Amino acid sequence: MTAPARQDRTPVVSLRAAALSYGDREVWSGLDLDVSPGEFLAVLGPNGAGKTSFVRALLGRQPLSAGTLTVLGRPARESARHIGYVPQQAALSAQALLRARDLVRFGIDGHRFGPWPRGGVRRRVDEILESVGAAAYADVPLGMLSGGERQRVRIGQALATDPRILLCDEPLLSLDLNHQRAVTELIDARRRSHGTAVVFVTHEINPVLGLVDRVLYLARGGHRTGTPDEVLTSESLSRLYGTQVDVVRVRGRVVVAGAPDEPASPPHHPEQADETDGVRA
């Protein structure tokens, strides 16, 4: 299950005694975690548990309230150009008229509008679109693509700078099973071929259960880290929540029942990435 990784086994992400708060509300604390090259880490937990805030911290967009975080051995913001980011699906609004190839280009040269360049950038965009199976609709406006097609393009944008870490924030939302499978296969293929670490935030573990090396489960009562078999058990989650939680496995699927509701998520941050946001230092 574990991908062949780069020879350097130095963690690409390292947190020590990390905590994150919004005002008086502590989202999570005491988090010690190393993510290795080529590792597939699933980040689970209910709404408001701090999953997206965890991603924002890795991107250098949300400072910790305590502890330390390094990405590729440096402060998170200094390493952003080595991170590929697949955000949650959002309303297209002004980006609806952008073509698929335009979005991928933004992953290479930021928000640079104007005539299309010749040579290397154009070839690189075509190669990326082909690699994610999106070449057939390279010139189709994003607003005319299905959710699954748009996610292929977003993954292409995230891979445009050959990232060492791929952060995926709920990339399977609103996708049917076939598109979920296609998206997860693309992401897994990348980490296996390049040793790219994957941090995959999801509400639903089952589409990626066979790919995951470890799970980080965030909840108001704390957090648990380990393999899916270690974390996704009735005993483990009951300790985490401080109440009885039942984990049932049926035909290879995991069902969690009885987990209490969490408080509402923190307010939306106006600087949060949109459709065209390239992650750059």
Structure-token pair, residue 51: 């999953």
Q: Which of 83, 78, 81 is nearest to 35 (CA)?
A: 83
The dihedral through the CA atoms of 22, 26, 30, 35 has a sign that is: negative
**Residue found by looking up tokens 């390094």 in the block:** 70
In Å, the largest CA–CA distance within the chain is 61
Task: Quote the pTM value.
Answer: 0.84
Tokens 């075509």 sit on residue: 126
179-200 burial: b if 16+ Cβ within 10 Å, else e: bbebbbebbbebbbebbbbbbb
pLDDT at 220: 81
Q: Return per-residue pLDDT of the chain as tens, 281 residues.
A: 544 444 567 899 999 999 999 888 889 999 999 999 999 999 999 888 899 899 999 999 999 999 999 999 999 999 988 999 998 866 556 567 789 998 898 888 764 444 445 567 888 899 999 988 899 999 999 888 888 888 889 899 999 888 999 999 998 887 888 888 888 998 999 999 999 999 999 988 999 999 999 999 999 869 999 999 999 999 999 999 889 999 999 888 998 887 776 544 444 443 344 444 443 33
> What confidence score (pLDDT) does residue 235 get?
94
Superfamily of the domain at 13-92+163-257: P-loop containing nucleotide triphosphate hydrolases (3.40.50.300)
> Residue ranges of the domains in the chain?
13-92+163-257
Strand partners, 212: none
Would you state the pLDDT for residue 113? 44
CB-CB neighbours of 260 under 10 Å: 12
Can you spell out the DSSP letters for 246-273? EEEEETTEEEEE-PPPPPPPPPPPTTS-
